[in-house]
Amino acid sequence: MASMVALILISILVVVFWGSLESMGRYGLNFLITSNWNPVDDEYGAFTAIYGTLVTSLFALVIAVPLGVGTAIFITENIIPLKVRNIIGLMVELLAAIPSVVLGLWAIFILEPLIRPFLMFLYEDFGWIPIFSTEPLGPGMAPAILILVVMILPIITAIARDSLNQVPIQLRQAAYGVGATRWGAILNVILPAAISGIVGGVMLALGRAMGETMAVTMIIGNSNVFSWSLLAPGNTISAMLANQFGEADVGQLSSLMYAAFVLMVLTLLVNVFAQWLVKRLSLKY
């Protein structure tokens, strides 16, 4: 039965690869760098979705890493009483349990209207920067990034917390013993000791962010028109799959499978790299 796991994993790869063969033959690697997605003319290029996937997950990571690691430090150090820390830890874990589709619903009706004035301000005052160059009119990449932050925060926090907890107490005692302040000890001794686990967790979170589907689909706008701007509607591979897979005809299906294959390879690489990192660099005390 254990081999079922390997069997499923391999057959997922085979099925997706098999389905995308036709499209691969037709477009080759051009599929990855052209951005016209046109079911009417049966012409497909997935650059818009690939750009959306990479940009939303990277920006989400940039915001979520300091927040998550900061929180992890806050609930592993004794700045506040243990009871309060446990409650914060519990709440972050429960945040991970909220279904993505519910977060998406919340993003559509609450989050997006709430942040639109701020996005408007970015557009009006920083519109000369390409990533803020379009008027925010509702769903778009920026709210998608924020909802991704909410979704990957619990992963980063949980793994960073575990890594920080594994740092041997002697290191901490030694740091305090030579007169370091609390944050001197954290920044110079504890964080460097735990960094491998934290980086591994960040990579896992990146994998999760790239594959995350529902919340992003509901708020990103699902536009197949390419735009550099974060304020414009965009698309990600997973959002495109969720939207079009059910009603696709043969040619489109093959192209969607190709996109799924790209996503699969991306997340596989990130996950395998994360596991390797955690294993290779894991604490050796």
Partner 1 sequence: MPDLGYKNWQKRNIVNRLLSVLAGLFSFLCILPLIAVLAYILIKGISTFNLDLFTKLPPPPGGEGGGFGNAILGSIIVTTIAALIAIPIGVGGGIYLAEYSTGRGFSQFIRFGTNVLAGVPSIIAGVFVYGVIVSTRILFGNTFSAIAGGTALSVLMLPTVVKTTDEGLKLVSNDLRRAALGVGASRFVTVSQITLPKAFTPIATGVVLSIARAAGETAPLIFTALFSPFWPNGIFDPIATLSVLIYNFSAQPYDLQNQLAWSASFLLVVFILALNLLARWLGRFASK
Within 139-198, the residues that bind partner 1 by CB under 8 A are 150, 153, 157, 181-184, 186
Considering only 55, 198, 202, 204, the residue that binds partner 1 (CB under 8 A) is 204
CA 171 to chain centre: 33
Q: CB nearer to partner 1: give 153 or 229.
A: 153
* Chain CA centroid to CA 185, Å: 30
Closest CA to 22 of 13, 11, 12, 31: 31
One residue of 75, 189, 231, 277 binding partner 1 per CB under 8 A: 75
Which residue in the set 11, 38, 166, 170 belongs to the binding site for partner 1 (CB under 8 A)?
11
Helix, strand, coil percent content, the chain, rounded in steps of 5: 75, 0, 20
Contact map string, positions 27 to 66, toward partner 1, x by CB under 8 A: ---------------------------------------x
* Closest CB to partner 1 among residues 119, 158: 158
Residues numbered 214 to 243 that lie near partner 1 (CB under 8 A) are 214, 217-218, 238, 241-242
Give the footprint of partner 1 on residues 244-273 (CB under 8 A).
245-246, 256-257, 260, 263-264, 267-268, 270-272
C-alpha triplet 222, 223, 224: angle, nearest 5°? 120
CA distance 231 to 215: 17
Nearer of residues 46 and 229 to partner 1, judged by Cβ: 46
CA angle 257, 260, 263 (to 5 degrees): 155
Residue 179 gets the label, from left (phi > 0), alpha (psi -120 to 50) or beta, of: left
The smaller minimum CB distance to partner 1, of residues 229 and 238, is found at: 238
- Give yes or no for residue 110 binding partner 1 (CB under 8 A): yes
Q: From the CB of 107, what's the least distance to partner 1, in Å?
A: 10
DSSP string, 21-34: HHHHHHHTTHHHH-
Q: Which is nearer to partner 1, 48 or 71 (CB)?
A: 71
Kindly state whether residue 8 participates in binding partner 1, applying the rule CB under 8 A.
Answer: yes
Neighbours of 108 (CB within 10 A): 17
